[in-house]
Amino acid sequence: MKVAYSPRAYNDLAEIAAYLHPLNPSAATRVKAAILATLQIVSMFPGIGRRDALDGVRRVGVRRFPYSIYYLVDQNADEIVVLTIRHDARDASGREA
């Protein structure tokens, strides 16, 4: 399956990298690579994520890092639609918990 990003998810990925880069450039690269690797696995096994409270939304954690990817599976378009990528310490509104 193809991977498509919502504008929010695309922005989330850019913000994660922009936040981490000044603190530790190599960590920023590793986190981004781990997120993309997780999405590659999801594209091969779309049912891997857990069902979320919202209808049709699935969530998968990023290995070794405290991030979760929320996505939908669009069987008709043969694609995964990434809705958002969040740090696990943040609540649904985007604030730190």
Residue 95: inside a domain = no
Residue 72: inside a domain = yes
Full strand arrangement of the beta sheet holding 67-74: 2-5, 79-87, 67-74, 57-61, 50-51
Residue 14: inside a domain = yes
14-52, pLDDT tens digit by residue? 999 999 999 999 999 999 999 999 999 999 999 999 998
Q: Is the separation of the CB atoms in 82 and 7 below 8 Å?
A: no
CATH number at residue 67: 3.30.2310.20
Residue 94: inside a domain = no
Angle subtended at Cα 34 by Cα 32 and Cα 35, rounded to the nearest 5 degrees: 65
50-78, pLDDT tens digit by residue? 998 878 999 999 999 999 999 999 999 99
Residue 47: inside a domain = yes
Residue 46: inside a domain = yes
